[in-house]
């Protein structure tokens, strides 16, 4: 935290305006640029730093490399009462998944539940951005995706056929804040490994394994090993079925077909996602549901703690704290990222991010 | 395996007939008794020993204690195109969840996807029994439940407000066997702890923790500690949201309201479950989906292995092997369980399980 205090704080509005101007500079239509920028800034405000403005230079590189279509015809390919398959036409993932989430919400209003899959999409930022969209409609949101780089082998294997395939679930409550689970199926996300390398720190055992099966703790040697799934074979199984639900079901890339978008600025990724909206009122009285959630959340928060544990957290607590702080004080941006964004502004001939 | 060879093998048919006669003896209607017996025997055939005939004495005890209703009016309470809420009327969980799964399959035929929740149900055996029901209809199945005893505290806590809430996902393939993930959200299921205690073995570190936060490895001291979730706070988050989806959403028991059905033969449990059926043909051509699944499965199976790993497994491989063996050679029943079943037969005045 001491480190964060020294960081420059940028307001969400300024961040959003800067991101939008960058996308406009590479020919993204104004409305789309604004939509993407709003979602990316929201990621930073929510504390998902690895998926916000941090990704901007990479997205711009991929747009310049023609890997991403800036004028996509995002459309429903197939639909029934409770499902749709969205064709993203290789547009920015944020646009595709906002479209998909809105479709799921609309269908769940009448069908009770709706499952919308997407293909020919791209990296869309943090899973919780989309899982939380149904909340405002008194719905539960569930999001899954095929990750955008394979860093996980099957359990017992060496070939990296799987990604950190994330899942997010957002459940509204009454007076209590919503429960928002957003997790990779690996012990650590790959971004965390990169952060450790940048800081010159070692990783704890359990994050990665080398190709002989021994713990890998030096993040500078990350490319000699692979991430470990949560709970061993269980996390492998979860990553696999999430990949089937978000990838195979939608005829999106999965397994050997996944492109490492960190090391490729020219190839289409055919990224697959799934979003599910569950209309709570279809199942029971909304007030009763919410008071039941409040009771459960309070029971957990007030439950007895292990020695040296200061408080019991609910999934999403970190997001709520980050949001309250950043909406008031701005988003902390590390020096190195500020420098990269200044350079990007120069390249794109747009105004620098104002401090 | 050497141990298993010494065990008595009982054919699935004989097992099923014995289970059905036991339920009939406690006033379960013949058709219902047959349905429950078929599912319980299937659990044993699939290798889910902890959830098959092993549970019979307990179920009979709970029926005798009036904790379970033997003449339930299992019915749809609410429904829309893509959802239903099933009221189990406190019937055997197997009956409730077979009804719910059939409802989900029926709705998914036209709506593309269907989500059916159940409340006032009971323990229904292994999650995979229901997740696999949609497979025969070229659908993906997804099942979640609130477990029937709380052995898991919130992360950092001591109060056991959560169960091992399981999730199962079954995905059909073409020539390859279906992928069937069936997992508790704890590192070990509580049944495994009991087995270790019976065998006089110690548990590995990581299964359980004591109330000071130290590893608990003596299974005889299990009641002095609690199970650990997979991936630390991530598994806690998963157990929690599965509980919300299978419990809170259906106004079924969750958190403090969960009854420990191992130590209570008289209370209604209001167990909650959820089953989702996903009609693959709504999303894409079925043949293409299946050939894509076959390719993925073969890529994984044939991928490079870590030193000393003999083969790469897919979730469900164990089930397929167990089923092939047990359909041919019968279900291995340990001596202690055979003795318990003989005693049950005596109590109920029915014929013993024939060897």
Q: Assess whether B180 and B251 both reside in one domain.
A: yes
Asked whether residue B1 carries a pLDDT value surpassing 80, the answer given is no
Q: Does B339 touch chain A (CB under 8 A)?
A: no
Instruction: Specify if A303 maps to a domain.
Output: no
Supply the CATH number for residue B29's domain: 1.10.1530.10
B152, B163 in Cβ contact below 8 A?
Answer: yes
Residues of B in contact with A127 (CB under 8 A): none
Q: Assess whether B3 and B119 both reside in one domain.
A: no
The reported pLDDT for the residue numbered A26 is 98
Look at B230 and A235 and tell me if their CB atoms are within 8 Å: yes
pLDDT by 10s per residue, chain A, length 355: 444 446 899 999 999 999 999 999 999 999 999 999 999 999 999 999 889 999 999 999 999 999 999 999 999 999 999 999 999 999 999 999 999 999 999 999 999 999 999 999 999 999 999 999 999 999 999 999 999 999 999 999 999 999 999 999 999 999 999 999 999 999 988 878 888 888 889 999 999 999 999 999 999 999 899 999 999 999 999 999 999 999 999 999 999 999 999 999 999 999 999 999 999 999 999 999 999 999 999 999 999 999 999 999 999 999 999 999 999 999 999 999 999 999 999 999 999 999 8
- Non-local CB neighbours of B270 within 8 Å, separated by 6+ positions: B90, B119, B120, B121, B252, B253, B257
pLDDT above 70 coverage of chain B, percent: 98
Residues of A in contact with B279 (CB under 8 A): 80, 83
The reported pLDDT for the residue numbered A198 is 81
Start-to-end CA span in chain B (Å): 20
Which comes out higher in pLDDT, residue B66 or B197? B66
Q: Assess whether B252 and B128 both reside in one domain.
A: yes
Domain range holding A41?
1-64+332-355
Residue A13, CB half-sphere, CA atoms under 13 Å: how many? 2
In three-state form (DSSP H/G/I as H, E/B as E, the rest C), the secondary structure along A221-282 is: HHHHEEECECCCHHHHHHHHHHHHHHCHHHCCCCHHHCCCCCCCCCCCCCEEEEEEEEEHHH
Q: Assess whether B83 and B131 both reside in one domain.
A: yes
The reported pLDDT for the residue numbered A100 is 98
The domain tally of chain B equals: 2
DSSP secondary structure string, B244-276? HHHTGGGT---GGG---TTS-SSS---EEEEEE
Q: Assess whether A17 and A164 both reside in one domain.
A: no
ipTM: 0.96
Q: What mean pLDDT value characterizes chain B?
A: 95
Output the pTM of the full model. 0.96
Start-to-end CA span in chain A (Å): 20
A316, A181 in Cβ contact below 8 A?
Answer: yes
CA dist A83 and B109 (Å) reads 11
B39, B125 in Cβ contact below 8 A?
Answer: yes
Instruction: Specify if B301 maps to a domain.
Output: no
To the nearest whole Å, the CA of B167 is away from the closest chain A CA by 10
Pairing of the two strands A83-87 and A113-121: parallel
Nearest CA in chain A to B162: A300
Q: Does B312 touch chain A (CB under 8 A)?
A: yes
Confidence band (pLDDT; 50, 70, 90) for B322? Answer: very high
pLDDT in tens, B258-271: 999 999 999 999 99
Confidence band (pLDDT; 50, 70, 90) for B250? Answer: very high
Q: What residues are paired with A198 via a beta bridge?
A: none
CA dist B316 and B236 (Å) reads 24
Angle at A258 between CA A168 and CA A144, to 5 degrees: 15
Nearest CA in chain A to B187: A231
Q: Assess whether A147 and A10 both reside in one domain.
A: no
CA dist B345 and A317 (Å) reads 53
Residues of B in contact with A303 (CB under 8 A): 153-154, 157-159, 161
A vs B, Cβ pairs < 8 A, gives: 269
Tell which B residues from 239 to 278 touch A, by Cβ distance under 8 Å: 240-241, 244-245, 248-251, 254-256, 278
Q: Assess whether B238 and B350 both reside in one domain.
A: no
To the nearest whole Å, the CA of A312 is away from the closest chain B CA by 6
A272, A145 in Cβ contact below 8 A?
Answer: yes
Q: Assess whether B79 and B50 both reside in one domain.
A: no
Asked whether residue B3 carries a pLDDT value surpassing 50, the answer given is no
Q: Assess whether A60 and A82 both reside in one domain.
A: no
SS3 B66: coil
CA dist A243 and A239 (Å) reads 6
Asked whether residue B192 carries a pLDDT value surpassing 60, the answer given is yes
């Amino acid at each position: 935290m001491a480190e964060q205090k020294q960081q420059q704080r940028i307001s969400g509005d300024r961040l959003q305006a800067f991101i939008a101007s960058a996308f406009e500079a590479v020919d993204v239509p104004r409305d789309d640029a604004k939509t993407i920028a709003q979602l990316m800034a929201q990621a930073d405000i929510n504390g998902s730093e690895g998926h916000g403005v941090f990704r901007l230079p990479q997205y711009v590189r991929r747009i310049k490399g023609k890997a991403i279509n800036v004028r996509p015809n995002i459309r429903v390919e197939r639909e029934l009462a409770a499902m749709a398959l969205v064709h993203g036409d290789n547009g920015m993932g944020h646009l595709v998944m906002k479209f998909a989430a809105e479709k799921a919400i609309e269908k769940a209003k009448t069908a009770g539940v709706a499952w919308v899959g997407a293909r020919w999409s791209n990296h869309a930022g943090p899973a919780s951005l989309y899982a939380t969209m149904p909340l405002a409609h008194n719905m539960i949101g569930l999001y899954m995706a095929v990750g955008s780089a394979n860093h996980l082998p099957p359990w017992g294997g060496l070939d990296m056929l799987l990604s950190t395939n994330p899942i997010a679930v957002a459940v509204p409550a009454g007076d209590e804040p919503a429960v928002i689970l957003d997790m990779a199926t690996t012990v650590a996300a790959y971004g965390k490994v990169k952060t450790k390398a940048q800081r010159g720190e070692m990783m704890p055992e359990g994050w990665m394994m080398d190709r002989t099966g021994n713990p890998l703790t030096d993040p500078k040697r990350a490319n000699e090993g692979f991430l470990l799934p949560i709970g061993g074979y269980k996390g492998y199984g979860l990553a696999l079925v999430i990949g089937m639900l978000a990838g195979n079901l939608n005829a999106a890339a999965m397994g050997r077909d996944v492109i490492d978008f960190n090391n490729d600025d020219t190839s289409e990724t055919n990224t697959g996602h799934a979003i599910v909206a569950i209309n709570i009122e279809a199942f029971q009285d909304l007030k009763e549901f919410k008071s039941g959630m409040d009771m459960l959340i309070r029971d957990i928060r007030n439950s007895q703690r292990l020695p040296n544990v200061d408080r019991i957290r609910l999934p999403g607590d970190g997001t709520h704290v980050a949001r309250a702080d950043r909406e008031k004080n701005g988003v902390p941006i590390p020096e190195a990222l500020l420098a990269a964004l200044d350079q990007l502004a120069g390249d794109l001939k747009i105004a620098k991010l104002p401090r």
